[in-house]
């Protein structure tokens, strides 16, 4: 997911514990018991305060504790989830990333950035075994995941991170939302003809769309958008995790540079929080599940100034099927 990965990386993102990891870990284990007596204060939806006794002895197996039992949809492997989390080391309370630090909401800048992720897919924000522990818990739940670095990260522990295999780590995770969506989902319905100056979109079942740039038409200087198919699902609000299929091409040469269909299919990201390019945030908040939306995004609302993206001078054309939200 080229455009969203780049945007997350470049947009003053979460403090992520990538230094802990040498590669994405996988697999899960459970069933350990803990003598660490970690204390967690605060309710679901509030920043947790984590206190660890100085003599805490972490479990050598991954331990999961349910602190609050939710009543929403259950997260399963393959589910899309929206999470708040805080992590820290046990012996010196060194932070391991989290979502609570970005309190933009207090400054009147909209919702706080949260983690939106598909369970079972690698994450840059959390070790795989810790993320896997979310499976089986309902939206509205707060869980605690703890254990030694060896138990939680294993062979992927980066020796340069300053954390030893026997050191204890703890995460507190709020399952804000969970939604299961078929990876091959796509929007159905009669498609509107392109408005004047808009590229033509030819959908292809289970494949990237064909997008044809209008001949002899200058790229627009501002965001252009058109709802090609009008859905009847819930509205997408700032802060939601938007689940979508998409195809992206460059206006300049019409060449495709990315499509969800070329990867694992339906993918998710948080909308309206600066986690993706501005053109997506501006063009997709307020749309509905079931919509097919065409966006023409000028460089100033795309990757202008971000040469490493390879798209910094391009006007981007996307067709986006909104197949769910979390």
| pLDDT tens across the length of the chain (326 residues) | 444 444 333 333 333 455 676 654 444 445 556 666 899 999 999 999 999 998 889 999 999 999 999 999 999 999 999 999 999 999 989 988 899 976 544 445 678 899 999 999 988 889 999 999 999 999 999 999 999 999 999 888 888 788 899 999 999 999 999 999 999 999 999 999 999 999 999 999 999 999 999 998 999 999 999 999 999 999 999 999 999 999 999 999 999 999 999 988 999 999 999 999 999 999 999 999 999 999 999 999 999 999 998 999 999 999 999 999 99
Of 211, 71, 80, the closest CA to residue 141 belongs to: 71
175 to 38, 70, 82, 138: CA distances (angstroms): 20, 8, 6, 7
H or E stretch covering 128: helix 128-132
Q: Rounded to whole angstroms, how far apart are CA atoms 304 and 315?
A: 10
Q: Which residues contact 201 (CB under 8 A, 6 or more apart)?
A: 191, 194, 209, 210, 211, 228, 294, 319
Residues paired with residue 175 on neighbouring β-strands, in sequence order: 83
pTM score: 0.88
The predicted structure's pLDDT at residue 3: 47
Backbone phi and psi for residue 178, each to the nearest 5 degrees, phi listed first:
-145, 140
Q: How far apart are CA 89 and CA 152, in angstroms?
A: 12
């Amino acid at each position: 997911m080229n455009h969203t990965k780049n945007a997350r990386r470049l947009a003053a993102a979460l403090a992520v514990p990538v230094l802990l990891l040498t590669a994405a870990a996988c697999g899960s284990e459970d069933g350990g018991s803990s003598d660490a007596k970690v204390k967690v204060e605060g309710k679901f939806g509030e920043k947790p305060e984590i206190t660890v006794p100085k003599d805490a002895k972490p479990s050598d197996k991954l331990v999961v504790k349910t602190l609050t039992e939710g009543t929403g949809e259950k997260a399963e492997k393959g589910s899309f989830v929206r999470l708040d989390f805080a992590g820290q080391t046990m012996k010196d309370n060194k932070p391991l990333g989290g979502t609570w630090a970005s309190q933009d909401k207090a400054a009147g800048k909209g919702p706080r950035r949260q983690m939106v992720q598909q369970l079972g897919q690698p994450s840059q924000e959390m070790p795989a075994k810790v993320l896997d522990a979310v499976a089986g818990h309902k939206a509205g739940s707060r869980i605690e995941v703890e254990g030694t670095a060896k138990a939680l990260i294993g062979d992927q522990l980066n020796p340069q991170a300053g954390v030893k295999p026997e050191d204890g780590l703890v995460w507190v995770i709020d399952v804000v939302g969970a939604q299961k969506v078929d990876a091959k989902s796509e929007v159905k319905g009669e498609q509107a003809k392109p408005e004047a100056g808009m590229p033509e979109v030819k959908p292809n079942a289970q494949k990237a769309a064909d997008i044809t740039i209008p001949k002899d038409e200058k790229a627009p200087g501002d965001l252009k958008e058109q709802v090609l198919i009008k859905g009847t699902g819930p509205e997408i609000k700032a802060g939601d995790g938007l689940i979508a299929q998409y195809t992206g091409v460059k206006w300049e040469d019409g060449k495709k540079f990315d499509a969800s269909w070329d990867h694992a299919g339906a993918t998710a990201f948080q909308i309206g929080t600066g986690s993706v390019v501005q053109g997506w945030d501006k063009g997709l908040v307020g749309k509905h599940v079931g919509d097919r939306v065409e966006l023409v995004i000028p460089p100033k609302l795309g990757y202008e100034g971000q040469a490493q993206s390879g798209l910094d001078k391009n006007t981007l054309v996307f067709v986006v099927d909104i197949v769910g939200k979390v």
